[in-house]
Amino acid sequence: MSPSEELELHERVLHGHRVAYRQAGSGPVIVLIHGITSDSTTWGRVMPYLARRFTVLAPDLAGHGASAKPRGDYSLGAHASGLRDLLASLGHDRATFVGHSLGGGIAMQFSYQFPELCERLVLVDSGGLGRELSLLLRAATLPGSEYVIPALAATRLLEAGRFGAGLLGRVGLRLGTDIEQMARGHATLSDPGARAAFIHTLRAVVEPGGQRVQASNRLYLARSVPFMLVWGEQDTIIPVSHGMATHEAMPSSRLEVFPCSGHFPQLDEPERFIDVLTDFIDSTKPARMRAEDWRELLTAT
């Protein structure tokens, strides 16, 4: 499969701020949530194909891509609320939520805050499921990092990343995608607004020792929602062991490990990603959470 054409970017103003998003197709709704320093284009290889059967919505999160980068709240809860408002403004009542990396943490937070809107939950190389994280992201939370990042972002790191990715690709290693995407995201931090949003978002979920937000004590709440984990076996940013441990803790979940992928399986193995996701949707019944169901889950011993 060759890289797809870029889908049109739309904009909507919510609470006085611009929200950029891509939307295509018709049918049941799938929301694709990107990771930190990324944007909706990270789904470019899979979105047009999914749109043949589904309504696919891929927003640029606040502080990312073409969306506004205001001073304000960049917590997981704020991102989840922003997604809720975008869905409502577009007339979508429920959806299957697919979150990559930071987007996985946001998807989990969304399913916790707004369970009645979540039909299925798919976590792709997700944050929030373990302590370990790449040194580069942990270092970015250190005091004073906001003064160092501009100098680094002004370098030719993006070109170097692409060069390194190309070399790895020639010898058959998919880890080049991780390098290229990290360099691409790093280059966006030359913009002061994007840089401030990155620091606030990262520090909300990461500290120098690793990930600070853990979902393990709330995973039981997802037992009534079809739940799938997708992970690149060669992930250099968040280890595949997090996905395996989560699957072990939730035997009702589905785990798909992509042996030839790093942190971005939707880019490394898009054909398999599409097949796995559509099969998961076809083989599961969408959740219909009621207030009494949620109350029962919370009070169960």
Sign of the torsion formed by the C-alpha atoms of 135, 136, 141 and 144 = positive
List all residues 6 or more positions away from 172 whose beta carbon is below 8 Å from its beta carbon.
none
Per-residue pLDDT of 67-122, as tens digits, reads 999 988 999 999 999 999 999 999 999 999 999 999 999 999 999 999 999 999 99
Q: Where are the domains of the chain?
A: 10-131+213-299
Per-residue pLDDT of 243-297, as tens digits, reads 999 999 998 999 999 999 999 999 999 999 999 999 999 999 999 887 777 777 7
Q: How far apart are CA 83 and CA 64, in angstroms?
A: 14
Residue 148 has a pLDDT of: 57
Mean pLDDT of 29-37: 96
Q: Where are the alpha helices (DSSP H) in the chain?
A: 47-50, 76-89, 102-113, 135-139, 145-153, 157-170, 175-187, 192-205, 240-249, 265-268, 270-282, 291-299
Residue 15 has a pLDDT of: 94
Tally the residues of the chain: 301
Residue 169 has pLDDT above 50, yes or no: no
Q: Could you give the residue numbers annotated as active site?
A: 101, 235, 263
Residue 257 has a pLDDT of: 98
Distances (CA, A) of 176 to 2, 93, 165, 167, 274: 17, 38, 4, 8, 21
Average pLDDT, the chain: 86
Report the interhelical angle of 157-170 vs 175-187 (nearest 10°). Answer: 170
pTM summary value: 0.89
- Comparing CA positions, the residue from 237, 228, 230 lying closest to residue 202 is 237
Residue 251 has a pLDDT of: 87
What residue has token string 């029962």?
A: 296
Residue 147 has a pLDDT of: 57
User: At 174, is the secondary structure helix, strand, or coil?
Assistant: coil
Residue 146 has a pLDDT of: 65
Strand arrangement, sheet containing 17-24: 10-14, 17-24, 55-59, 29-33, 95-100, 118-124, 227-232, 254-258
Residue 135: Cβ within 10 Å count: 9
What residue has token string 């250190």?
A: 142
Residue 3 has a pLDDT of: 38
Stronger pLDDT, 102 or 154, i.e. the higher one:
102
Q: What homologous superfamily does CATH list for 10-131+213-299? A: Alpha/Beta hydrolase fold, catalytic domain (3.40.50.1820)
Task: Lowest mean pLDDT of 47-51, 137-141, 225-229, name the range.
Answer: 137-141
- Comparing CA positions, the residue from 233, 241, 240, 239 lying closest to residue 269 is 233
Stronger pLDDT, 215 or 26, i.e. the higher one:
26
Residue 183 has a pLDDT of: 74
